[in-house]
Amino acid sequence: MEEFIRGFVGDVTRVMSALPVQEIARAINVIQAVYERDGRIYIFGNGGSLALATHWVSDFNKTVFSHNLESHTRRFQAIRLPSTEEELSAWANDVGYEMVFAGPLQNYLQETDGVIAISSSGNSQNIVKAVELAKRRNVPVIGLSGFDGGKLNELADVKIVVQTEKGKYEIVEGIHAVILHLITKYFQDYFDHQLARRTAGA
Amino acid sequence: MPKRLAGSYRRAEGPSTAPARFRQGPRTGDRRGAPVDWDKLSLMILVRAPLRISFVGGGTDLPEFYRKHPGRVISVTIDKYVYVLVNPTPLVDKFTIKYQRTEIVDHPKDLEHTRLRAALLDLGMVQSGLEVGSFADLPAKTGLGSSSSFSVALLRGLHAYRGRSLSNRDLAEEASRLEIELVQEPIGKQDQYAAAFGGFNVFQFNAHGPVDVSPVLLDYRKRSALEEHLLLFFTGITRPAASVLTEQRSRVEEHFETYVAMAESVGEFARRVLEGDIRGMAHMLHEGWLRKRSLASSVSSSVLDGLYEAGLSAGAWGGKILGAGGGGCLLLLAPPSAQAAVRRALEGRAAQERLAGFKEIGVRTVQSGTDLVYRDQQPPVY
- What string of pLDDT tens digits covers the 382 residues of chain B? 444 433 333 333 344 444 444 444 444 444 556 677 766 677 899 999 999 999 999 999 999 999 999 999 999 999 999 999 999 998 999 999 999 999 999 999 999 999 999 999 999 999 999 999 999 999 988 999 999 999 999 999 999 998 888 999 999 999 999 999 999 999 999 999 999 999 999 999 999 999 999 999 999 999 999 999 999 999 999 866 777 888 888 888 899 999 999 999 999 999 999 999 999 999 999 999 998 888 888 888 889 999 999 999 999 999 999 987 788 999 999 999 999 999 999 999 999 999 999 999 999 999 999 999 988 865 333 2
User: Containing H/E element for A182?
Assistant: helix A169-201
A29 vs B15, B167, B367: nearest CB: B367
Amino acid at B270: A
B367 vs A32, A112, A194: nearest CB: A32
| Chain B nearest CA to A137, separation (Å) | 5
The three-class DSSP label of residue B214 is strand
Q: What is the residue-averaged pLDDT of chain A?
A: 95
Residue B8 lies in a domain: no
The answer to whether B217 contacts A109, with C-beta atoms less than 8 Å apart, is no
| Residue from B195, B179, B165, B190 nearest B116 by CA | B179
Identify whether the C-beta of residue B304 lies closer than 8 Å to the C-beta of residue B353.
no
**A22-75 pLDDT tens trace:** 999 999 999 999 999 999 999 999 999 999 999 999 999 988 988 877 888 888
Identify whether the C-beta of residue B372 lies closer than 8 Å to the C-beta of residue B45.
yes
Instruction: List all residues of chain B from 271 to 290 with a beta carbon under 8 Å from chain A.
Output: none
Q: Which residue of A has its CA nearest to B367?
A: A33
The answer to whether A26 contacts B215, with C-beta atoms less than 8 Å apart, is yes
How many domains, chain B? 1
Residue B70 lies in a domain: yes
The residues, any chain, with a CB within 8 Å of residue B223's CB and separated by 6 or more, are: B200, B365
The answer to whether B4 contacts A36, with C-beta atoms less than 8 Å apart, is no
Give the single-character DSSP code of A70: G
Q: What residues in chain A have their Cβ under 8 A from chain B's Cβ atoms?
A: 22, 25-26, 29, 32-34, 36-39, 74, 106-112, 133, 136-138, 186, 189-190, 193-194, 197
The residues, any chain, with a CB within 8 Å of residue B229's CB and separated by 6 or more, are: B278, B282, B317, B333, B334, B335, B336
| Chain B nearest CA to A157, separation (Å) | 11
Q: Give the best residue of A111, A160, A189 to mutate against chain B (max B CB count within 10 A).
A: A111
Residue B10 lies in a domain: no
Q: Give the best residue of A21, A26, A29 to mutate against chain B (max B CB count within 10 A).
A: A29
**A89-140 pLDDT tens trace:** 999 999 999 999 999 999 999 989 999 999 999 999 999 999 999 999 999 9
The answer to whether A137 contacts B165, with C-beta atoms less than 8 Å apart, is yes
Residue B119 lies in a domain: yes
| Rounded CA Rg of chain A | 17
In angstroms, rounded to a whole number, what is the distance separating the alpha carbons of residues B124 and B106? 14
| Whole-prediction pTM | 0.91
Which residues form the domain of B147? 20-375
- B48 and A CB contact within 8 Å: yes
Contacts of B221 in chain A (CB under 8 A): 193
Contacts of B220 in chain A (CB under 8 A): 186, 189-190, 193-194
B167 vs A36, A138, A189: nearest CB: A138
Residue B9 lies in a domain: no
- B297 and A CB contact within 8 Å: no
Give strand ranges (E) for B8-65: 45-56
Residue B13 lies in a domain: no
CATH number at residue B331: 3.30.230.120
Which residues form the domain of A94? 2-201
**Burial of A193 by CB count in 10 Å (0-12 exposed, 13-18 middle, 19+ buried)?**
middle
Residue B4 lies in a domain: no
Give the single-character DSSP code of B11: P
Residue B355: the pLDDT is 94
Contacts of B12 in chain A (CB under 8 A): 110-111, 137
Residue B2: the pLDDT is 44
- B12 and A CB contact within 8 Å: yes
Q: Give the best residue of B367, B374, B375 to mutate against chain A (max A CB count within 10 A).
A: B367
The answer to whether A33 contacts B198, with C-beta atoms less than 8 Å apart, is yes
In angstroms, rounded to a whole number, what is the distance separating the alpha carbons of residues B228 and B222? 10
Contacts of A39 in chain B (CB under 8 A): 4
How many domains, chain A? 1
